[in-house]
Every structure is written in C-alpha cells, then in structure tokens.
Amino acid sequence: MSTHTLDHEAGLSRRSLLGRGLALGGAAALGPGTAAVAAEPGNPANLPPNVPEWSKTLGDGVAVRAYGKPSKHEAHVIRRDVEWLTASRESSVSFTPLHELDGIITPNGLCFERHHSGIAELDPNDYRLMIHGLVDKPLMFTLQDLERLPRTNRVYFAECAANSGMEWRGAQMNACQFTHGMIHNVMYTGVPLRVLLEEAGLKTNAKWLLLEGADSAAMTRSLPLQKALDDCLIAFRMNGERLRPENGYPVRICVPGWEANMWVKWLRRIEVGDQPWHHREETSKYTDLLENGKARRFTYVMDAKSVITSPSPQTPFRHGRGFTVVSGIAWSGRGKVARVDVTLDGGRNWRTARIDGPVFDKSMVRFYAEFDWDGRELFLQSRAMDETGYVQPTKDELRKVRGVNSVYHNNGIQTWRVSPEGEVENVEIA
Amino acid sequence: MSTHTLDHEAGLSRRSLLGRGLALGGAAALGPGTAAVAAEPGNPANLPPNVPEWSKTLGDGVAVRAYGKPSKHEAHVIRRDVEWLTASRESSVSFTPLHELDGIITPNGLCFERHHSGIAELDPNDYRLMIHGLVDKPLMFTLQDLERLPRTNRVYFAECAANSGMEWRGAQMNACQFTHGMIHNVMYTGVPLRVLLEEAGLKTNAKWLLLEGADSAAMTRSLPLQKALDDCLIAFRMNGERLRPENGYPVRICVPGWEANMWVKWLRRIEVGDQPWHHREETSKYTDLLENGKARRFTYVMDAKSVITSPSPQTPFRHGRGFTVVSGIAWSGRGKVARVDVTLDGGRNWRTARIDGPVFDKSMVRFYAEFDWDGRELFLQSRAMDETGYVQPTKDELRKVRGVNSVYHNNGIQTWRVSPEGEVENVEIA
C-alpha cells in the first residue's frame, strides 16, 4: 500500500500507518462499490456487512443495571490468585490483571488484594479511629468526623513489597498479572494525616506512629513521624466512591510511594510513640535477607520500576507483522517518572518511549512504543527513570547487591521473549 | 474547646479545627485513662470500645470476589431513573449519584446512561468500524486493528445536553442526582479520530462526518470535520478497562466538551460528506426552542457549569453546627476551569473555592469550601469560570436570552436551601 498525502490540509500529510504494514483484519480496504453507495448521504443501507441480530432489537433499559458491570465478553478480566503460593486464601494475595488494562487508573473491582485474615466487613456506623499515645489530647473520630475535615484528592500507586518477589531466583511466573500484578493506581480522597495529628497535638518526644487495622490479624506497622506529616492520607474514597471492603472500607491509610503493607486497611488506631514497635510485619516479614545473613529493615520506599503489559504472556501478538503498539506502565516511590526507555533486542539498543496521560507524583504513568515488527524474535524490556535520576536496574545488578534470598523489593528490568509466532514468554537473558 | 499550638514543629501551629466547632461524634476526646494505657507501646489491649465480632474472625479470602463490588452498606449508591420522565426504559436516562461521589473520577458502574433503544450487546469479534464517503480509500477496522494504531489517554466529562433540563421552568427535582446527574468524568483510552481519517484520506470537499451507532435506533449525528480533526477520540477503554456495554462497548466516540448525544456509542460507521445530514437528533431533538419560535441548532458546546454535590437534598447536614466542608464539581466544554466561587447567602457574598486535584482540559474539577456553620439558614450556590473568561450565569440570566421552552443547555447557577435543621432543598431565589 503506497503512502498517500491528504490534500485538504497541508498539516495532515505524513506517512500512512497502513503503509507501514498494518494489514486490516476485517474486510480490509473496501472496494469502489462501497464508495459509490457512500455518495448518498444518510442512506441507512450503508451498513457494515453481517449486521447481527442484537443490532435490530431493543436491549436492556436504563438502571436495569443500577450498578454496572463489565460485558460478559470480558469475564476473563479478573483478579486471580495462585493456589500453591499461600496456605490459605484468607492470608494471601490476588493479582491485578495488568495485561488487560490501559491508561493509569485501576478500576476498583480489579485492584489487587492482600489480606492477613480475610476481608473485614465493617458497618460504617461502627467505625472509630483512635489517636492516642504521645499526644496532648487523645481523640476518637467517627467516619462523619473525618468527613468534616479538609480533604484532598491524589492519585497514588500502591505496590506490595513482594511484587515480583518470585522472580529473585530467575524467571518463574509466565504472566504479567503474576510477575507484576501486586500494584494498583487509584485517585484517593482523604484527610491529610497531618491534620489529625495537629488536632491531637504531638508531644515533643513523638517520633513514630503505630498503625493498626481492625481485621482479626490486627495488622500493625510502625511509621516514622516525618512521613506521617509529609503526604500520608487518611483515605475514605477511591476513584470517587467509597473504598471497597477488600481495600479497607471504610478507611485506610495511604503512605505514598512506600510499600503497600504499610497502607493499613480498616484503620482503627494510631498510637504515637518515640520508637518503632518491631512488630511481626517489620521483623520476620517485610525485611530483606542479604547474602551475609544480615537483613535490611525498614525498606519502605518502592524504587522506580516498569513493565510492558502488552504484549506479555497473557496478551501475545495475534496480528502478525507490521505496525505494532507496545504498552506499559512505570512508577517510582521517590517522585515523578521522568523517562521510560524500551528495547526490542534485550538491551542492545534503547529508544525513549512515549509517556501519554497524566504524570503525577508517586503515581503510575502509561507509556507506549510503536514500531514495525518484521516477525523476528524480540526480547522486550522497559527501563524507568525518575526525577531524582534513579535508573531501574537489571535483575542481575540487583542480585549483585542483594543476593537471591530476598522476597521483597525486586524492581529489576523484566524481559519478555516474543517468538516469531507472536507468543510471549517470561525469560532472563545473560 | 480552646485553640492549641503544636510545639514540636513551628510550621504546624495553627488554629484548631476542633476549636472551630467540630464536636466529635463518637467518643469525642478520650479521657486521661486512655492516654495512660497508651503509654505502653504495642499493647494489644489498646482498642477502641465495642470491638465488633467481625474484628475477631476471618473474612472472605482473596479472589473470592474476582471482580470486586462495593460494600453491602453502599447499596444505595446506584444509578437511578425517573419513571414518569420517559415512556420506556429502553429510550430513557439514568442518573449518576453525584451526591455520593468525590474526587473527579466517576466509577464505571455509576456513569449515567442514555439509550434510544436499550443497551446493544456486542460481541467484540463481530465489531467493525467502517469509514467511507468522501475519502480516497474507504476502510473497515476490527477492534484489533484499532488497537494497532497510536493511542492516547485523556480525562473528559460527558454531559447530556438535557442535564438540568427539567429546571428551565423553576426548581423541579429535589435531588442533585436528578438535577445534575447526566454527567460522568472518565479517563478514556483511544485512537485520535484524526489518525483514522488520515489513513482513509479526505477528499478536498470533505466538511462533515456522519457518526452512526450499532444500536437498533441506529443513532446518528453530524460532526463538523474541524472538531473531528481536533480532539475527538475513537475510545475503547474507560478508566483502564474496556468500555461498559451501556457506555458503547466495545467502541464509542469521545467528542470532548460537546454534548454527550454526539458521543455515539457502539460506533459502527463514519461517513464523510460535504454538509450536515439534518437527522432526527439534530432537528426535532437537541435543538433549543426560543421565545420567538425559532430554534438554536448545532449547539454543541457544553458551557461552564458547576454544582455543589454535598450538601444537597440527598446528603443533608447531619452533624449540626461547626466546621463544615462543602464539596462540588465544575466543568467547561471550552477548556479548563479557572476558578469556582461559592456563596452561602444566595449570591450576596462570594468566596473563592479551593480547587483540589487535577485540572484537565474539558474535565471536571473538584472544589471545596470550608466554613463554620452557625446553624442559620443558607442559600448555597457555586459559580464556575473557565479559562476563556466565561462565567456561569444565573438561571434568570439564561432565561432572559433563551426563554423557558428549551430542554437543553441549562447551565444556570443551582441554589440549595439549607434549613437550620440541616435539610437541603432545591429552590430558586429572586
């Protein structure tokens, strides 16, 4: 197909994408007969072929689906767990289907889950948040009290520290959903934690906070006061509506850029102290065992990371050669993503990807890279850089520093091998 | 309660919100006894009173809710229709529960619906988009073809031209959901229409497009070519996931800032012509009958508008006097919202509201106004201004120009009367 030029507006002229190998999958380019019919404006006979039955009859009316659901043809787009990974579903994880999403908003129904004792089902009328310890005035808030304080809206990613944790010892999980799906990106509405602490009044020796959830595991984490006063939110909404039960309804804390284990759900208690509590989730768990037998602790920040979500093992190339869109996500716990690079050949040649859509602090960005696929084997990778200058490392670079005993904080570069048939596989390259 | 000062960090000092009349609704300020217990860091006995049963047992595990739903306590947060408004639900409208939302993202399950023949249920494998008429090369696209073209992510509002249409003759609907709920705000992913038209190649006399839906009403609208080449999107995702069936699955067109009737759903055909088609939806409907018997036509742009979503008739003040948050939304079809003003006394005194969260082109913004309510009757209003300098008019100002025979394009200032008891009513003031 030859390159054509639009003659009605000079600015539109450019090389045709179809000319770059995009063979149309449907009826392709239509014949001259169709063009002739089109000369009769408004002719209702101008229909694509095979008009199906649904296009001739009435469908469901409004509000029949008072709270809407996805199409029945999208039933495969769900959170999934891995049966062998954990002993029970009550203390386990489900994964966001990143390979089926685009843009930067994770729909609430698809946000990954991580529970220690299952989903606590709170009645919002029973909800109380207690603030006590090293404060001038211990306080108790109802949900309604929280909604009377000045609130803010922020888009943040929440990533489990164990995301990609199964990949420390090599390529394990053959699905983007399972290698990278412990992350979601949501617009939260909530009250800055700083406002609540100001109301309670901090004692001069206040340095740490204990956050406690109302689930039967009574999840606790120690939070440095400095972070609490910086950007933490006491959140009661996600993407406009109330938090979902599995995400902490009615109230969770957002600890932007830091590991999601600290984003305590069903938050019921904040105790102010002068040192960390050294509870389970910051000693035997969420610490990184190094080769020398010592462990890194309080490794809160989620470093810059990225992954190509499509193509990936669950969404291979089905279209053959030609013009092709690669889509992926990048994020950094230290600020804004500044740049994303993509390689087709396992890191020999890099090109700068196109970041498209909003770029917020400590939020996912969406990137794309378009290219002409000649049908050769590809080794696709992406590499994120953030505004601090930090560059996402290779997995081997990470292993040199951290060994392979860790579960957490694997932000190494992901490689997808694309076969000439378009199948995609999780691999590591030397 | 007296104002207090935080002494550990000078920057935190300020007047207490609690001191400004926020009486806590729960156990209020805790007694000294609780503070004493708090001196034992990590004591698991430090629990708020009345720890309920759910807090002691296991809940549902992960992926039990593979596609998540809201809490059972939020069952009232749904799209609603008005039975007497239309003859059938297949050609009707349901309304977004704006009064129950915050931030700027409308969750997909709550986006208002407007159908002319019910919800078309497409199989994405059957989907075809035809482009023909005054083009060099008529084309047919499958969904997969569209996904091979460069795509973009944009947040836009879609507002039905008839939103607030029942208010032309005075305050009618006593609910924000029904006065203003024919709007949603979503992050769309799609291919610029310009890219498809470039591929087809426009003839020199091309000036208008006919957009046609695949529903059995075969919804059609004429679109000026200039807008098509500017910012229209052929969208296949909303808030990250596939479009919902009721919003045009698998493909609709976004016509940013213009009346949502033009955002044809289940888009199957684009015909290029040299003049508008004058079909039903741009002649007998979606035209504005003036006092002199003439009608405005092709009134595409949705002018700047705003509304206070809380408090409103469905979400009255339940908390009594004291520190209070007013929350609302504003938008403009001509660009970005530049400022929102709020009045408590029906327009005698205005204050600038706090816009919080992202400000995008042709997107909703969220605004807040905080104040101490002394329990007196209020006449709450908001007034949007956009970056072109346009100021949202009063309803009476609008009526002077347009009369009261119109159904469409009522962007007048909304008044909520708040009674001393906190009840809220839709009123008009002279």
pLDDT for position A56: 79
Segment A247-265 mean pLDDT: 98
Chain B, residues 8-37, CB within 8 A of chain A, namely 8-9, 12, 14, 16-18, 22, 24-30, 34-35, 37
Among the residue ranges B85-89, B334-338, B357-361, the one predicted with the least confidence is B85-89
Chain A, residues 292-331, CB within 8 A of chain B, namely 318-319, 322-325, 327
pLDDT for position A87: 85
Report yes or no on A4 lying in a domain: no
Helix (H, G, I), strand (E, B) or coil at B166: helix
Examine the domain organization and report whether A378 and A396 are in the same domain.
yes
The DSSP element (H or E) to which A176 belongs, if any, is helix A176-180
Examine the domain organization and report whether A127 and A257 are in the same domain.
yes
Q: Which of B274, B296, B318 is the last residue of a domain?
A: B296
Segment B318-346 mean pLDDT: 96
pLDDT for position B259: 98
Which residues have a Cβ under 8 Å from the Cβ of A223 and sit 6 or more positions away? A208, A209, A210, A211, A232, A255, A262
pLDDT above 70 (res B114)? yes
Between chains, do B240 and A70 touch, taking CB under 8 Å as contact?
no
Which of B8, B24, B242 lies closest to A70 in CB terms? B242
B397 Cα to chain A: minimum distance (Å): 33
Domain containing A122 equals: 83-296
pLDDT for position B95: 97
Residue of A9, A55, A56 best to disrupt the B interface, most CBs of B under 10 A: A55
How much of chain A exceeds pLDDT 90, in percent?
80
Report yes or no on B394 lying in a domain: yes
Yes or no: say if A249 and B68 are a contact pair by the CB < 8 Å rule.
no
Report yes or no on A228 lying in a domain: yes
Chain A, residues 349-368, CB within 8 A of chain B, namely 354, 356-358, 360, 366, 368
CA distance A352 to A354: 7
Which of B50, B204, B318 lies closest to A8 in CB terms? B204
Examine the domain organization and report whether A229 and A330 are in the same domain.
no
Segment A119-125 mean pLDDT: 92
Report yes or no on B46 lying in a domain: no
A94-112 residue pLDDT tens? 999 999 999 999 999 999 9
Which residues have a Cβ under 8 Å from the Cβ of A45 and sit 6 or more positions away? A37
Number of domains into which chain B is organized: 2
Between chains, do A39 and B133 touch, taking CB under 8 Å as contact?
yes
- Structure token pair of residue A42: 């408004």
Chain B, residues 371-430, CB within 8 A of chain A, namely none
Examine the domain organization and report whether A232 and A354 are in the same domain.
no
Q: State whether residue A180 sits within 8 Å of chain B by CB.
A: no
In whole angstroms, what separates CA B284 from the centre of its chain?
A: 26
B400 Cα to chain A: minimum distance (Å): 34
Average pLDDT of chain B to the nearest whole number:
89
Q: State whether residue B42 sits within 8 Å of chain A by CB.
A: yes
Which residues have a Cβ under 8 Å from the Cβ of A98 and sit 6 or more positions away? A176, A177, A180, A181, A183, A307, A309, A312, A329
Chain B, residues 72-101, CB within 8 A of chain A, namely 72-74, 77-81, 88-90, 92-94, 100-101
Examine the domain organization and report whether B108 and B199 are in the same domain.
yes
**CB atoms near residue A414 (< 10 Å):** 27
Examine the domain organization and report whether A254 and A388 are in the same domain.
no
pLDDT above 80 (res A275)? yes
Residue at token pair 């047992």? B57
Q: State whether residue B219 sits within 8 Å of chain A by CB.
A: no
Q: State whether residue B128 sits within 8 Å of chain A by CB.
A: yes
Q: State whether residue B110 sits within 8 Å of chain A by CB.
A: yes
CATH code (residue B383): 2.60.40.650
Among the residue ranges A11-25, A240-254, B249-263, the one predicted with the least confidence is A11-25
Residue at token pair 């469901």? A60
Q: Which of B296, B322, B353 is the last residue of a domain?
A: B296
pLDDT for position A222: 98
Segment A269-276 mean pLDDT: 97
Report yes or no on B169 lying in a domain: yes
Question: Which residue of chain A is at minimal alpha-carbon distance from B229?
Answer: A12
Between chains, do B70 and A115 touch, taking CB under 8 Å as contact?
no
Cα→Cα distances A399→A42, A53, A168, A356, B398, Å: 64, 58, 8, 32, 67
- Structure token pair of residue A268: 């019921």
CB pairs under 8 A between A and B: 515
Report yes or no on B62 lying in a domain: no
pLDDT for position A49: 59
pLDDT above 50 (res B1)? no
Between chains, do A8 and B203 touch, taking CB under 8 Å as contact?
yes
B37 Cα to chain A: minimum distance (Å): 8
Q: State whether residue A252 sits within 8 Å of chain B by CB.
A: no
Q: State whether residue A170 sits within 8 Å of chain B by CB.
A: no
pLDDT for position B55: 75
Strands B113-115 and B252-254: unpaired
Q: Which of B257, B276, B296 is the last residue of a domain?
A: B296
List chain B residues with CB under 8 Å of A245: 71
pLDDT above 70 (res B173)? yes
Q: pLDDT band at residue B74, thresholds of 50, 70 and 90?
A: very high
ipTM greater than 0.85: yes
Which of B103, B106, B216 lies closest to A56 in CB terms? B216
Examine the domain organization and report whether A275 and A362 are in the same domain.
no
Examine the domain organization and report whether B329 and B287 are in the same domain.
no
Segment A322-349 mean pLDDT: 97
> Rg of chain B over CA atoms, in angstroms?
25
Report yes or no on A110 lying in a domain: yes
Yes or no: say if A305 and A332 are a contact pair by the CB < 8 Å rule.
yes
A291-312 residue pLDDT tens? 999 999 999 999 999 999 999 9
A290 Cα to chain B: minimum distance (Å): 28
Report yes or no on A47 lying in a domain: no
Among the residue ranges A48-57, A155-164, A259-268, the one predicted with the least confidence is A48-57
List chain B residues with CB under 8 Å of A101: 237, 240-241
Examine the domain organization and report whether A247 and A328 are in the same domain.
no
- In sign, the C-alpha dihedral spanning A404, A410, A411, A413 is positive
Segment A265-270 mean pLDDT: 96
Segment B127-155 mean pLDDT: 96
A42-95 residue pLDDT tens? 444 566 656 677 777 888 898 889 999 999 999 999 999 998 888 888 889 999
pLDDT above 50 (res A408)? yes
A344-398 residue pLDDT tens? 999 999 999 999 999 999 999 999 999 999 999 999 999 999 999 999 999 999 9
pLDDT for position B319: 86
Which residues have a Cβ under 8 Å from the Cβ of B359 and sit 6 or more positions away? B336, B337, B365
Examine the domain organization and report whether A264 and A355 are in the same domain.
no
CA distance A19 to A6: 14
Which of A62, A147, A202 lies closest to B8 in CB terms? A202
CA distance A90 to A84: 14
Examine the domain organization and report whether B216 and B245 are in the same domain.
yes
Between chains, do B70 and A241 touch, taking CB under 8 Å as contact?
yes
Q: Which of A89, A127, A328 is nearest to B65 (CA)?
A: A89
Examine the domain organization and report whether A147 and A194 are in the same domain.
yes
Helix runs in B103-235, H state only: 143-146, 176-180, 193-200, 225-230
CATH code (residue A264): 3.90.420.10
Segment A141-166 mean pLDDT: 96
